[in-house]
Structure 1
Amino acid sequence: MKTPIKHHQVIHAGWMNEQETSKRGPKGGILADKMGLGKTLCTLTSMVHGKLPARSKESRTNLVVVPKSLKDQWIIEARKHTIQPSSDGMLGLGAIISYSTESSSEAQMLIFEGADLVIVTYPELCSAFKNVRYPKELADASDKDKEKFFNKSVRPKLPAIFRFKFRAVYLDEGHTIRNVDTISSTACHKLLSKYRWILTGTPMFNDPTDLYSVLDFVRHPTVFKLTFKGFKTLYKGVENSDDDKINHEWVATLLHETMRSWTYEDELFGYPLTIIPDSVTSEHSRHLSVPERAIYSVVYDRLKELALEANPDPGPDGEKTYKFVAGLFMVLRQMTGHVLVLRPSTFKHLTDDDMRAICREINRPPVRDPFADDYIAALLKLQRSTTCTICKKRTKYIRWAVCHHAYCEGCLTEIMHIAAERGRADAVCELCKLPLGELTDAAQDAKDDKPKWLNDSGKAIPSTKSSAVVDLVRKWRDPLTGDPQAKVLVLTTYKESHKLLAATFEEEDWNFTALTSEMSNAERNDSVSRFKLEPETFIMLATSGVGGTGLNLMNAKYLINYDHYWNEATEGQARGRIYRIGQVEETTIVNLTAEGTVDDRMKEIKEEKIMNIGKV
């Protein structure tokens, strides 16, 4: 190794090699050190220590499966920390390969044979596995029969990555496979290797049943013989059992045999594992503005009614009810970031009474919100009906007045003719009595892809949370009371919230860079480099699925979680981007909360999961 290894990393690297040489199994395990404590370096140390001589007939090649955003980082880290092998090939790591589909299957086999380390992403692995199908007659077959069919009839036709037997397979951010029904999980389980490892700082996201897939992957002797249903039965007992019948101790024993985990609170030889300045996590709570509260409340009531009307009888399995509730939660979660980020179809369900109730609440004295008119105008446009205001008929040949009320061609011609007979320059709306103004048809409306949270002047209509972000950044970078050089990581869950904040930062004339799932690896790497190297670029705006895992962003001392997460694990992953070995500044993590919204329920769900996982 080029890089000196810390004591706690040596201990876990030694444990990894002990697992691989153990006779009792599993031949691998779960390395669950908390984010930023050096799982990558520990893993590379284990690879180098376990390296076989060139003359060995066994495979020398290691495979690491990573999220898309971490592929280049893994290659850089591997080359940075390991020495190039000497002539006998026993030191360091030799060829480090980025997986590519450009070569033929036969050529890939040769490439794998000549490499010490191959890096592949989960999407690349899923793409190579996507056409796997089982015949209908195997639908009710046992897992053993399905596996036999797969190895005999399916595997020989798959790309080389599923036919080559690696020395070891490592799943970085291995919690990715926790859902047994996903293609990511299935594809990873079908990889061939002597040793199998899960690398994750958060092995459990929602509850201990998340462990089934990862324990099955590492071939734990007990779990490998069980189905997911069998695992749940042994852990939870019969469905709806009392909590005191849940077998937390059994799961804890499985982990004791299979997992090792250092935390920041651990000590070694009477000293902390590493010295990192303190990190403070806090909730920044605000009430929604009057326009937001009025819109949120009415939409919430309307969606709840629609869900009950569409699904009055959920059935014994409750699956339909779950889907409706999950859908409702998603809509409400987005609205806590900004009530106007939703699709227009959501607002089409609002009635005229709903609209009047919203407007009445927004206009209620004594103090009127400065953005009240912007919210009302945006809402009217979102709720525009395709039913003619006069004849009440629906038609695709519809036109909208400036007031957003709809008219069919026939009725529009008639009222304009009447207005002309009476000597009026412009007809007035039959409903609100305002001038019709410049009319818009469906074709023009379809071309208007401008976000509804932009007002007529093209400015972002601020929300409670977007205003909170601006206030916090200004406070932290205040020349007198803050640190004008401070850098901030802002994470959002939804793309529309990401766009809203990007527009807000542009209006503030702030230099920022972004990370999204649509960006290529080269674009992401460039974005991260700019954030790290350019002093004037002080905000990284990222979606949590891309910027919330794996990345090293220690040059930021502040983190804002714009949306609440379903579990503490995701929050911990986000925290680990800035709070990790090498951080020299005190760090601050802020979770934004819109009081009196679904955010409150999200916090309750998270606490329930923390308690359940804590029992294991």
Structure 2
Amino acid sequence: MPRTPAPTHRLQAVFVPDRRRIAWWGPDQPDEHARKRGLPEGVPGRIELAHGTVPARLVPLTQAVPALAGLAVGKQLSDSLLAWRAAAIAALGDPARLEALAGMMPPAAHAVRLGADRVWTAAELLSAFRSAVHDAYSTADASAAELLAARESEAAEAPVEAVLRPYQRQGLSWLSALARNGAGGVLADDMGLGKTLQTIALLAMTPGPHLVICPTSVVGNWARELARFAPELEVARYHGPRRDSASFASADVVVSSYSLLLRDAEELSAIDWGVAVLDEAQQIKNPDSRTALAARRLSARTRLALTGTPVENRLSELWSIMDFASPGLLGTRKRFTKRFAEPVENRGDAAAGLRLRDLVAPHLLRRLKKDVATDLPDKMETTVACTLTGEQARLYRRAVTEAFDGGLGDGFERHGRVLALLTKLKQICNHPAQYLKEESPVLSGRSGKLDRVTEILGEVVDSGERALVFTQYRAMGELLAGHLAAELGLAGVPFLHGGVSAAGREAMVDGFQDGSAPPVLLVSLKAGGTGLNLTAATHVLHFDRWWNPAVEDQATDRAHRIGQTRRVEVHKLVTGGTLEERVAELLDRKRALAEAIVGTGEDWIGKLDDAGLRALVELSDAEVGE
């Protein structure tokens, strides 16, 4: 129910952008009061303001005041001032550029208070308005100009143990400009362009403490990347059952998860962070979600959202992410919907789309691989560390304890028991449902690796690319097929394994290559590791590791082979704190000798003594999520 504002005897006005009118209201007989101030006579009407519906006069703009944005006479201020912010900026110069400053200014900066002890002419009112707004916006204007210029310049130094590529140095220059101006932004680079590295460089050169909120599945990955690229930073992982907010006091960077952003909102919002980062920021694309509301409560000098998909389905998603990064920039949600979302989505209004692009330009940076990554290698391999869920951790510890408590034996008996333990642990790392052999299980939220694969493939599909997913387990492949089809909105996800007929195998390959099949193809490592040409894929994901580099390379080469004209990104998933991570580290350190070390599989592990084996498989508590 609209509220009627408190009665006032002072003349007030607000600009109505959609009507191109100034609405006057306040005292009895507002026409008479307007005439006394030399203002043109209007026509009766009603206007809905942010604080209610009140009688008003709609006065046409005249040539004498073509850019008059509005004024407030007297002490009363309300949210209605937000409605004419755009026109207020237009009064100062180029609307396309200056409109972008609106979100950086508090509503009170747009108000003009005038005494009631004299009659004010229209010219005097306009002069007073221009003077009041000019000072407020001059600083914001300079800030926006600096942000736009920084997008084209390269940072002189990057305080990280890595060599940044030119586009990454430009990204760091822009991020640094955000921090200098106390502004926020969205780094929306294409997947694989190094959003994490650019962000770590910013954190390393900006006073903290800083906060990184990310999906639980990548908490460990963030901690590792920080240790790798900025080892001088003290990093605290705030997650898991033994988390303690006392760690904030000594940390340069605190890494936590979206689930804890909700659960421990009071602790996280009580700190004044230097930079607050939301990784995979599409997690707050629903502005009404509890996660989005909790994110907006965070206190930080600079807010940064990282996402490869700032808009997935509707422009309201962009509003939600931007309202975290740069509160107020896009106005209220209702105003944004009327001004941008409806014209663009319902009517294909190109002009509205351009205005929106200009508005967010200083605060959003997006580069595509095809534009900036021409110097990158044709195959890029990344190890993706995932976090165990609490359920996975319990199953993992129990399997290790039972194996050692029962004794491993000697000779062939020991060899068989060790391999059985490895199989159990790898299946637990994949998903509890695979290990427990559940029928029709609930999959979401139970495996950090599954959650991370879903996130990666979501970006791949949204970007119009295609991916191969390799697993050595048929049972896991069948679980993945149903889960990914549902989560990614696909008609189905084909699974090429040993049980597929020759004709079916050929149909799967042809459909994937010509684009008639879904953009994700699951492949059994044994059945599809060799002999296939799948160059339509630009991403290869190894869901579980074979621990033989030659075998994995052969599988990767299904996409990275003659006929491939694009760069192939290879994602090797490992579960942090488990034998998966330790074996992966061993292979990475001794890549040149890896085949000799591991032979054709896992036999070398069976030759370890009990102490060496236990050190390899023991779970690290620091890697367990909620």
| TM category, shorter | 0.3 to 0.5
Compare relative contact order (CA 8 Å, sep 6+) and give the higher one, 1 or 2: 1
TM-score normalised according to structure 1 size: 0.40
